[in-house]
Amino acid sequence: MSSQKSRTRYKLVPPIALPTMGWMLWFLMIPMGIVLIYSLVMKGIYGGIVWQMTFENYERAFDWLYLKIFLQSLKLALLTAISCLLIGYPMAYVIATANQKYRSALLILLIIPFWTNFVVRTYALKVLFSEQGPLNAAAMALGFFSEPISFSNSYGMVWIGMVTNYLPYMVLPLYVSIEKFDFSLLEAGRDLGASSWNNFWKVLVPLTKPGIITGFILVFTPALGEFLIPDLLGGARSMLMGNLITEQFLKMRDWPFGSALSIILMSIVLISLVIVIRVWMKEEQTKVEAEAAHGH
């Protein structure tokens, strides 16, 4: 890179980096370190702690009662990310291939709900699917069923909420990837006799993989720790990790247990990220090797 030349070298740290470094240390690193410490001490009364080391909080977290909640959260986050990918890819493709005029209109249509307050969007879904809501009214008027059905208080409702809320996080990076894609490659593929499926699977998908990975991470990570959607749409029966942790902190005042739970959440996120990136790197590696074997 030519930019290398004009960079000023510092033996220590440039003063201009100091404010942010200090801030990150003081409000990010130390607080997270403290969560780790809190997860290893005993609970005192009224949200206090007792300075005595214990693994009790972690042992308690592996009780089947809580393990079930972890698995449920993991399942729902995965399901959300996959649903978003399946819906988001065709959408991103449509937007990226639309002519310029429609393209910006479609992007704006996508960005408006994305920028709309999260609480408002979730509340809108709650109203739509409520027992006195328009969906029930319409279905009854059309004679689908005679009694209003309760959609809320179910994992299905939480899934709908998560997919509609997180979809733009998937579509936007996918759009960026597909937008950059050189479509003449598809023509070349077709000329060489590739079926549309092969063209899609072997040309378009591999070349838009950065978008897929980014989108997946951007949906999966927040979905795993989601609090608001299950809280407003799922009701008491569909508790997820985010709700469990919030409850420990704001209601039960058991900060050490809540800290242990959030350390576990962080670990799941990190492990998933590593797996996703590893799988991706491995494929890149085999591709490079294959190319090398072909004498490129």
Partner 1 sequence: MATEHRARPSPPFFASLVTAGTFLLLYIPLFVLVTYSFVQTDLDGNSSFTWNWYYEAVADSSLQQALWMSLMVGVWSTLGATLLGTTAALALERTDFPGKKIFDALTLVPLIVPEIVMALSLLIWFVILKISLGGISIVLAHITFSFSYVIITVRTRLADFDHSLEEAARDLGATPWKTFWKVTFPLIWPGILSGALMAFTLSFDDFLITFFTAGVGSDTLPVKLYSMIKFGISPKINALSTLILLATALLVLMIFRPKRSMKTISKESGETSVPDALKALG
| Footprint on residues 15-54 left by partner 1 (CB under 8 A) | 16-17, 19-21, 23-24, 27-32, 34-35, 38
Region label for 153, one of left (φ > 0), alpha (ψ between -120 and 50) or beta (otherwise) = left
Q: Smallest distance from the beta carbon of 36 to partner 1, in angstroms?
A: 9
Taking residues 195 to 214 in sequence order and writing x for each that binds partner 1 by CB under 8 A, - otherwise, the string is: -x-------------xx--x
The answer to the question of residue 280 lying near partner 1 (CB under 8 A) is: no
- Collapsing DSSP to helix, strand or coil, 50 comes out as strand
List the Cα angle 135/136/137 in 5-degree steps.
Answer: 90
Tokens of 187: 């023509």
Instruction: Report the residue number, 56 or 179, with the smaller CB distance to partner 1.
Output: 179
Q: Smallest distance from the beta carbon of 268 to partner 1, in angstroms?
A: 9
List the Cα angle 53/58/61 in 5-degree steps.
Answer: 150
The answer to the question of residue 82 lying near partner 1 (CB under 8 A) is: no
**Residue 154 burial (10 A CB sphere; 0-12, 13-18, 19+):** middle
Q: Smallest distance from the beta carbon of 293 to partner 1, in angstroms?
A: 30
- Collapsing DSSP to helix, strand or coil, 52 comes out as strand
List the Cα angle 229/231/236 in 5-degree steps.
Answer: 135
Instruction: Report the residue number, 7 or 296, with the smaller CB distance to partner 1.
Output: 7
Segment contacting partner 1 by CB under 8 A, of 56-64, 97-105, 277-285, 288-296 = 97-105
Instruction: Report the residue number, 35 or 56, with the smaller CB distance to partner 1.
Output: 35
- Give strand pairing partners of 43: 49
φ, ψ for residue 102, nearest 5 deg: -70, -35
Applying CB under 8 A, among 50, 52, 62, 104 the residue interacting with partner 1 is 104
Segment contacting partner 1 by CB under 8 A, of 55-63, 108-116, 145-153, 284-292 = 108-116
**Half-sphere exposure (Cβ direction) of 1: Cα atoms closer than 13 Å:** 4
d(CA 215, CA 166): 10
The footprint of partner 1 on this chain (CB under 8 A) covers a number of residues equal to 105
Q: By CB under 8 A, what part of segment 125-184 binds partner 1? A: 125-128, 130, 133-134, 164, 167, 169, 172-173, 175-177, 179-184
CA distances from residue 66 to 51, 219, 258 in whole angstroms, order as listed: 25, 23, 12
Q: Smallest distance from the beta carbon of 260 to partner 1, in angstroms?
A: 12
Applying CB under 8 A, among 103, 156, 207, 209 the residue interacting with partner 1 is 103
Applying CB under 8 A, among 63, 101, 142, 146 the residue interacting with partner 1 is 101
The answer to the question of residue 113 lying near partner 1 (CB under 8 A) is: yes
Q: By CB under 8 A, what part of segment 210-249 binds partner 1? A: 210-211, 214, 218, 221-222, 224-225, 227-228, 232, 242, 245-246, 249
d(CA 55, CA 48): 17
Instruction: Note whether 234 and 158 are within 8 A (CB).
Output: yes
